[in-house]
Amino acid sequence: MSKNGQAPAYDFIKFEEKGDTARITLNRPEVVNCLSIPMSDELVDAFERLRQSKTVKFVVITGAGGNFCAGDDLKEMSLGEWGNSNDYFHRVRYYQWMAYALEELDKITIAAIDGHAVGGGLEITMCCDFAIATRRAKWGMPEVDWGITPGWGGTTRLARLVGRRRAKEINMLAAIHPAQTAVDWHLWNRVCDDDKLEDEVAALIELLRAKSQQTLRQLKFIINKNVETDLYTAQAFEALSAAWTASVNGWAEVPDADGGEGLKAFREKTALKDKRRALGKDFWVERE
């Protein structure tokens, strides 16, 4: 929310907040909600607002005018508004950062997909925790037909979700697929009747709202991190999360833990500070 408590005024997205749920609507229906540079700047600002929010638990992303998003604004690219090769590099890195900002939110994010979700639009859905689509929804990665390659998830996140061969098929053939195929290929969660999208999203939020919100945050964090690492490191995350769970459930006290005494010693300059530093500061330090 803005400083005066009102929803922020954006030109290319709608940002609504009601109770514990925020809704972002991509709002360029005349061009199938394609991601212009100004719209992307607004999304980055909205994601930062959500990151700082202490009240929002759920975020729904959808599109205006019967479509989700047609991807990056190719007109901007073709007219040279992205600049030279170095400018392109930094623009793509910026979009990657935008995707991470969405993916890393400690809220549950839901892509509510109707109509077309292609290119960058599909990449947005891959950053969300859940993806629900209407039966008439369509998706794909058509960049190869414009002589360009995806820049912020269309090859990387996609391969992690559907596998290497499917990712090659989706990108190299550039077909536009029906929504059910996205479910069958483990890209989206559910397909619903065309007039039931809002009902499905509301039912999912109602279910999630009944859960322990702290546990949901931990699950999102460890699952997102675990898929990017080896089994042993991943299980370390699981073990730390289990200990964190014990702590928030009231079993935090460990007999030989510090209990905040170290910081207290620093703050109040107690004898413990002098003892610890005296023992440690020169230990195994080579002196001239």
Q: Is 6 exposed, middle or buried (0-12, 13-18, 19+ CB in 10 A)?
A: exposed
Supply the pLDDT for residue 205.
98
Domains of the chain in sequence order: 13-209 (3.90.226.10), 213-248 (no CATH)
Amino acid type, 40: S
Strand partners, 69: 117
- Is there a catalytic annotation at residue 143? yes
Supply the pLDDT for residue 9.
87
* Rounded CA separation 171/132 (Å): 22
Catalytic residue among 16, 17, 103, 123: 123
DSSP state of 31: G
- Is there a catalytic annotation at residue 123? yes
| Closest to 122 in 3D by CA, of 106, 99, 100, 101 | 99
Supply the pLDDT for residue 77.
84
Catalytic residue among 143, 198, 228, 286: 143
Supply the pLDDT for residue 240.
92
Supply the pLDDT for residue 2.
47
* Rounded CA separation 152/98 (Å): 9
Point out the residues of the chain with pLDDT beneath 70: 1-7
For tokens 């600002």, the residue is 45
Supply the pLDDT for residue 6.
63
Contact 200, 162 (CB under 8 A): no
